[in-house]
Amino acid sequence: MSRQIEQRANQIKGQLEEHDYRYYVLDDPRITDREYDELMQELKQIEEQYPEYRDLHSPTQRVGGAPRAGFVTVNHPVPLLSLDNAFDEHSLRQWQQRISKLTNGTLTYVVELKIDGLSVALTYDAGRLSVGATRGDGTVGEDITANIKTIPAIPLKLRKPIQQLVARGEVYMPQEAFLKLNEEREAAGEALFANPRNAAAGSLRQLDPKIAAKRNLQVFVYDLLVLRGEELTMHEEALEFLRNMGLPVNPHRKICDSIEEAIEYCHSWTSRRNQLSYDIDGLVIKVNSLQAREELGRTAKSPRWAIAYKFPAEQKPTTIKDIFLRVGRTGVLTPTALLDPVHLAGTTVTKATLHNEDFIISKDIRVGDKVIVQKAGDIIPEVVQVLTEKRAGNEQEFIFPEYCPECGAKVIREEGEAAVRCQGGLACAAQVREGIIHFTSRNAMDIEGLGPKMVEQLLNSGLIKTLADLYYLTKEDLLGLDRMGEKSADNLLEAIERSKENDLYQLVFAMGVRHVGLGASKSISMHFKNLAAISKATEEELTAVEDIGPKMAKSIISFFAEDQNQAVMRRLMEAGVNQAKAVSERIRDLEGITFVVTGTFPGYGRKEAQALIEERGGKVSSGVSKKTDYVLYGEEAGSKLEKANRLGISTIEVGDLQQVLDDCANRG
């Protein structure tokens, strides 16, 4: 009898998985909602009566478990990069010309809709969903597996037991679901979500998966990041493969033989975007050939083989009520217009950036002007046109001050620069404040509980004057602040203490060196391995690092030449803040050597093999090309090994992996 019950449970699971695939992927349902619910109810009854037949990947387990205390972090196996943007045809053609010079052969492109949602990575091991994670900073995200499982369109089990598959997708909220959610929140007296993208992000980051399950989230998968056990050559082929595995792939895409055909397809969606049941903010043009992608590579932030075409921004008229200046962490005075509220691209806009002094002069922007505003890239509000014909004569010109509005120091505008800068340096409270806020931010030292308001309170109370002072705060100091109890003080001190163990790149980024972003911070840290070496590096040594140009090198040298910055570094070191790369002590004898790893390795996982190579400075590439030095292969190696043999590339069979790596280093 028990055997028959187990067979029936497995039969229902298979039927439900098949019906999910037909409904969410093929858009070809074969049963009614009622029939589907009856099958689900029967399975629930079996699992309640016979719990031994219930597992984590059962269709009944999409929503379960108690709310979580918080999210843990996940290291992505492949960086989830952001895309460069293009806003016109000229930019798209320039991109095509750039990449054509970097690869051989004729390129074809796949053009896809750019879904306006939250980017996620889905990992399947042995065909079963193991991890769902947010993009985070591209290298580290948050584990939101429990919430991911609540999205019916995401299969808990692939249609084939693939060894490992990591896919990237976009979780979104359909417009109808968004309107319904906001109606419910309004009726309950809760704050409304600004747009479907914010609603989707807020839903996925709920600690209680039961709340996420009620939000009617959907997903489209658009990139195959990792695939073990299969070989593919084209992106279009990868999309079809994902679809055949049961993952939802957007049907609106086109293979284009030229950039002109791609541009035409982009234009065709400008007017059609409102016909969709979900929001898109543009299209993405991708090189189809996976081999060409490998050759094109990436910059510090973006792949060279793809670009996002953003739709022309929505524009609305409004009035400039006032103009005020904000002093940033590098001393730049940025003018901002205070506007009459206007609804634009899904949100209510009350401020718009005016960029710099030249921008105000060139457009003759005055307080009281009627203007046209838009969101640059559908994100940042900006003034695009002054309606001079509507002037009444009482509008006022805006003149940049001679002295900083925050600290009273002289402001200057260096020759060749558009920026007006305060010369107050560390004597300028605004620069110190913004610098410390940046230092504590998520991609920098990531000190939870040290937001802008807390930083301002610490500064105003005199407890800190520089960012290094954060590491000398005591519990008694914190208990003297407004609304600071013992538990909050303990939590903040623990967060500050944890940040001492951060990787070197986080510290480099946190210090706010001008022109040095997160990607460059990682490259610099990997190359020099400790902060002392970075601070003493010459321009020649710095520009030898990938992603570092002369302008950035000069900025780094100038930063570390300042006595005040050197003093902050010493105070951080004395406080015990890590100033060395975590792997600085490892042997890095494989630098400059490129490997391709293929097949299965008895005693090792593919990830472990790749990690050993990368820890010793080697590069692991996904495709075999003329730039490949060695192909490291195990059992069941396929087309990559065959291609290596055709190209005459050295191949090494895995035996004693450590000895193999040592041999490679000696030969390199």
Within-domain flag for 182: yes
Instruction: Identify the CATH number of the domain in which residue 621 sits.
Output: 3.40.50.10190
Say whether both 104 and 214 belong to one domain: yes
- What is the separation, in whole angstroms, between the first and last Cα of the chain? 64
For Cα atoms 275, 280, 286, give the angle at the middle one, nearest 5 degrees: 120
Over range 554-581, report the average pLDDT.
88
Six token digits for residue 148:
């991911």
24 has a pLDDT exceeding 80: no
Say whether both 120 and 215 belong to one domain: yes
Active-site positions? 114
223 has a pLDDT exceeding 80: yes
Q: Which of the residue ranges 57-61, 229-233, 456-460 would you say has the lowest mean pLDDT?
A: 57-61
Does residue 165 or residue 379 have the better pLDDT?
165
Within-domain flag for 15: yes
* Residue 416, SS3 per DSSP: coil
| Per-chain mean pLDDT for the chain | 85
Domain hosting residue 449, numbered range = 428-499
Within-domain flag for 49: yes
Read off the pLDDT band of 656 (50, 70, 90).
Answer: very low
The domain boundary residue, chosen from 457, 475, 499: 499
Say whether both 328 and 351 belong to one domain: yes
Tell me the C-alpha distance between 276 and 377, whole Å.
20
Does residue 485 or residue 518 have the better pLDDT?
485
Give 514-537 as a 3 state SS string: CCCCHHHHHHHHHHHCEHHHHHHC
Tell me the C-alpha distance between 434 and 568, whole Å.
16
559 has a pLDDT exceeding 50: yes
Is the distance from CB of 226 to CB of 80 less than 8 angstroms?
Answer: no
244 has a pLDDT exceeding 70: yes
Does residue 658 or residue 239 have the better pLDDT?
239
Instruction: Give pLDDT tens digits for 425-452.
Output: 666 888 889 899 999 988 899 998 898 8
Question: Which percentage of the chain shows pLDDT scores above 90?
Answer: 41
Task: Give the model's pLDDT for residue 596.
Answer: 83
Read off the pLDDT band of 585 (50, 70, 90).
Answer: very low
Instruction: Identify the CATH number of the domain in which residue 27 sits.
Output: 1.10.287.610
Say whether both 176 and 214 belong to one domain: yes
Task: Give the model's pLDDT for residue 379.
Answer: 62
Task: Give the model's pLDDT for residue 586.
Answer: 46
Say whether both 493 and 535 belong to one domain: no
Within-domain flag for 24: yes
Instruction: Please state whether 667 falls in left (phi above 0), alpha (psi between -120 and 50) or beta.
Output: alpha
Does residue 14 or residue 176 have the better pLDDT?
176
Instruction: Identify the CATH number of the domain in which residue 300 sits.
Output: 3.30.470.30
Say whether both 247 and 301 belong to one domain: yes
Say whether both 142 and 95 belong to one domain: yes
Six token digits for residue 631:
């192909």
Within-domain flag for 70: no
Within-domain flag for 381: yes
The domain boundary residue, chosen from 574, 602, 630: 574
144 has a pLDDT exceeding 60: yes
Instruction: Identify the CATH number of the domain in which residue 516 sits.
Output: 1.10.150.20
Residues 6+ apart with CB under 8 A from 498: none
Say whether both 364 and 270 belong to one domain: no
Task: Give the model's pLDDT for residue 348.
Answer: 84
Say whether both 246 and 300 belong to one domain: yes
Task: Give the model's pLDDT for residue 26.
Answer: 63
Within-domain flag for 270: yes
Read off the pLDDT band of 662 (50, 70, 90).
Answer: low
Task: Give the model's pLDDT for residue 601.
Answer: 63
The domain boundary residue, chosen from 460, 479, 499: 499
Task: Give the model's pLDDT for residue 661.
Answer: 56
Say whether both 400 and 445 belong to one domain: no
Say whether both 168 and 246 belong to one domain: yes
124 has a pLDDT exceeding 90: yes
336 has a pLDDT exceeding 90: yes
If one counts the domains in the chain, the total is 6
Residue 651 CB neighbours (<10 A) = 18
Instruction: Give pLDDT tens digits for 246-305.
Output: 999 999 999 999 999 999 999 999 888 888 999 898 999 999 999 999 889 887 778 999
Task: Give the model's pLDDT for residue 69.
Answer: 52
Q: Which of the residue ranges 105-119, 150-164, 175-189, 478-492 would you say has the lowest mean pLDDT?
A: 175-189
Q: Which of the residue ranges 6-20, 101-115, 260-274, 346-360 would you say has the lowest mean pLDDT?
A: 6-20
Instruction: Give pLDDT tens digits for 469-504.
Output: 999 999 999 998 888 888 889 999 999 999 999 989
Is the distance from CB of 168 to CB of 219 less than 8 angstroms?
Answer: no
Task: Give the model's pLDDT for residue 70.
Answer: 63
Residue with tokens 């050597």: 593
Instruction: Identify the CATH number of the domain in which residue 321 sits.
Output: 2.40.50.140
Read off the pLDDT band of 376 (50, 70, 90).
Answer: low
Task: Give the model's pLDDT for residue 136.
Answer: 84
Task: Give the model's pLDDT for residue 32.
Answer: 74
Within-domain flag for 417: no
Say whether both 157 and 270 belong to one domain: yes
Q: Which of the residue ranges 90-99, 323-332, 334-343, 365-374 would you say has the lowest mean pLDDT?
A: 323-332
Over range 327-348, report the average pLDDT.
87
Instruction: Give pLDDT tens digits for 394-422.
Output: 999 999 999 999 888 888 887 878 889 88
CA 265 remoteness from chain centre = 27
Task: Give the model's pLDDT for residue 45.
Answer: 79
